[in-house]
Amino acid sequence: MKKLIVLLASLAILMESQAQFKQASLHYSFSDLEPYIDSTTMIIHYTQHHATYTKRLNETIEKNPELKNLTIIDLLKLADKLTQEVQLSVKNNGGGYFNHNFFWSILAPAGSTTISPAMSKMIENSFGSIENFKTEFEKAAMSRFGSGWVWLIKTKNGKLIVTSTANQDSPFTISKNKLGTPILNLDVWEHAYYLKYQSKRASYIKAFWNVVNWNEVEKLATE
Ligand code: MN3
């Protein structure tokens, strides 16, 4: 069954190869984040949820050729200025497209990366300690009502802050956060954890720390 889903998804991706926005390829296999993120969740999340946002975003771009050739970030920043229907699609499908590509990039198999001394220093400078940072991030993830995302953002002055967004909003579509660059995010939609963790969002959030790609986070923080 899993093989069939992967095969069908691969065909769909092949057919979409002419589209402007494409799902980022994963740097690990669907099962590599086990046991913290299970492979069935990864398969459904990547080949169904993320694929659908991507497909619908491309359909919106096809229907609105004036939006062609913008980067996804420029498109998200522009969302507020678009007509309501296009704005909704850009926020939901464009946000879903970007947020997931970003999420896949900051994940890695457990034990494959660690927080470097430089990254630790950066976190300590903003939160006092790694532990305080994790507590604040977990609190934001737990208190996000309904569906959404939690973010670690580097602001223009270099300070790191934690914030959360509803639905598929991103730091680029939320005006108060537009000045920041995301360097880490976590999907707290139920589809991201329900198969394994059911209603225990807190357990999923704790498990997430095991599969963070700290090399990528540091790269984003120092770009
Ligand atoms: Mn998701």
Give the chain's largest Cα–Cα span: 49
Closest residue by Cα to residue 199 from 152, 142, 151: 142
- Ligand 1 center–CA 192 separation, angstroms: 5
Higher pLDDT pick, 171 / 124: 124
Residue 91 clears pLDDT 60, i.e. is over it: yes
CA-to-CA distance for 116 and 182, rounded, in angstroms? 19
pLDDT at 223: 87
Higher pLDDT pick, 6 / 198: 198
The tens digit of pLDDT for each residue in 23-66 reads: 999 999 999 999 999 999 999 999 999 999 999 999 999 999 99
pLDDT at 17: 61
Residue 177 clears pLDDT 60, i.e. is over it: no
Residue 11 clears pLDDT 70, i.e. is over it: no
Burial class (CB in 10 A: 0-12, 13-18, 19+), 139: middle
Higher pLDDT pick, 3 / 22: 22
What average pLDDT does range 1-25 have in this prediction?
71
pLDDT band with cut points at 50, 70 and 90 for residue 16: low
Q: How crowded is residue 64: how many other Cβ atoms within 10 Å of its Cβ?
A: 15
pTM for this prediction? 0.91
CA-to-CA distance for 198 and 143, rounded, in angstroms? 17
Higher pLDDT pick, 56 / 172: 56
- Ligand 1 center–CA 131 separation, angstroms: 26
Residue 217 clears pLDDT 60, i.e. is over it: yes
- Ligand 1 center–CA 50 separation, angstroms: 7
The structure tokens listed for 127 are: 């939160």
Residue 193 clears pLDDT 70, i.e. is over it: yes
- Ligand 1 center–CA 24 separation, angstroms: 14
- Ligand 1 center–CA 10 separation, angstroms: 19
pLDDT band with cut points at 50, 70 and 90 for residue 10: low
List, as ranges, residues with CB under 5 A of the ion ligand 1: 187, 189, 192
Q: What is the rounded average pLDDT for all residues in the chain?
A: 92
